[in-house]
Amino acid sequence: MDTKLFGQAIMKFICGAVLVGVLIFLPAGSFAYPQGWLLMGSLFIPMFIAGLVMMKKNPVLLRKRLNAREEEKEQKTVILLSGIMFLAAFAAAGLNFRFGWVKLPVCVSYAAAAIFLAAYVLYAEVLRENTYLSRTVEVQKDQKVIDTGLYGVVRHPMYMSTLLLFLAMPLVLGSVISFVIMLAYIPIIAKRIENEEKILGEGLPGYVEYKQKVKRKVIPFIW
């Protein structure tokens, strides 16, 4: 085992868990926020397991995703807007719990958690299919077009899974207000895809032909 990579992964995992915990429970004003703990478990337990699997099966991909730094100006804007969206959504969910603005049945949170976990499985399958998958928009050395599996259905199955994850997340937290805020992810990701496909079309052989073959970007038969 690469102890340096393992240490880096554990540190980022802990920092991520602490950050999300603060964003959820600080606005809520209490740790007695059941839906908050439901999201923490749904998010970080599978993440920990996935990290261990990647450490064993594909440490190169894990290292690449841990060390990714976005260079594209347009993508930096996308990341900034995404960050603002998440801050607003988490704050709204916590405040909604604290003040009881709009209460959803608990069964909605559990149903959303099931969708969230299913989307996580989808995300894991995308990682398995595409070893070139990166957190940044780039054309990698010796990269090839992947057109099998989920990539034969939509061109960006990773964004299909993250769309499900992000839209399920506020419902796990029991907040309709946060769900409305997270709808901003749709135009944000549309902007990212536009720039990404431009870069791939210019630098990845066969990608233009792949776009002609697979018509939908994110949602089968729709988008």
Domain locations along the chain: 3-213
**pLDDT value at residue 72:** 67
**pLDDT value at residue 115:** 98
**pLDDT value at residue 193:** 94
**pLDDT value at residue 3:** 84
Q: Is 154 exposed, middle or buried (0-12, 13-18, 19+ CB in 10 A)?
A: buried
**pLDDT value at residue 133:** 76
pLDDT tens by residue, the chain, 223 residues: 678 888 999 999 999 999 999 999 999 999 999 999 999 999 999 999 988 888 888 888 788 777 766 666 777 888 899 999 999 999 999 999 999 999 999 999 999 999 999 999 999 999 888 877 766 677 887 889 999 999 999 999 999 999 999 999 999 999 999 999 999 999 999 999 999 999 999 999 999 999 999 999 999 999 9
Q: Is domain 3-213 classified as CATH 1.20.120.1630? A: yes
Which pTM does this prediction carry? 0.92
| Residue 211: Cβ within 10 Å count | 15
| Residue 44: Cβ within 10 Å count | 16
Q: Which of 104, 96, 90 is nearest to 40 (CA)?
A: 90
**pLDDT value at residue 71:** 64
**pLDDT value at residue 55:** 87
